[in-house]
Amino acid sequence: MKKIFIASDHAGYNLKQQIIKKFSKKLNIVDLGTDSSSTSVDYPNYAHLLCKNVLKNKTYGILVCGSGMGMSMTANKYKKIRAALCYSVKNTKLSRLHNDANIITLGARLINRSLAFKCLSIFLKTKFEKGRHLKRVKKI
């Protein structure tokens, strides 16, 4: 089973913990922090840490913050990282099918737990279509 890395800031901590609880029997999830919702932290620190681990291990990542935006913006600064801010089943599926996203970002203040779980399940089981999309992804 491949490692999947997860990290959050303080705003995403509770959803991150719920994801770990729900998916840890099916996935080898490595929690990179933060360890509390009560202490404010800087989300870029956790996004950087996760991206480095995803690239080193050639695997997937899950980032959670308040809106998902800051984590996504930070992660997408890395070459070979394609972080998708997911908020619906459809956009999650397309992020994998067409864009070969390797990191899902979730906004804990904007998405409920049930939808976050659905999006993560779709993200993990959907394969990249390649074909006409491969040349586009190579241009990123």
Which residue ranges make up each domain of the chain?
A: 3-138
Taking residues 4-24, report their average pLDDT: 98
Residue-level pLDDT at 9? 98
Residue-level pLDDT at 62? 98
Taking residues 6-10, report their average pLDDT: 98
Average pLDDT, the chain: 96
- Positions annotated as catalytic residues are 98
Residue-level pLDDT at 53? 98
Tokens of 90: 């459809």
Taking residues 49-78, report their average pLDDT: 98
Taking residues 118-135, report their average pLDDT: 94
Topology given in CATH for the domain delimited by 3-138? Ribose 5-phosphate Isomerase B; Chain: A, (3.40.1400)
Nearby residues of 81 by Cβ (< 8 Å), 6 or more positions away? 51, 54, 55, 75, 102, 103
Taking residues 97-123, report their average pLDDT: 98
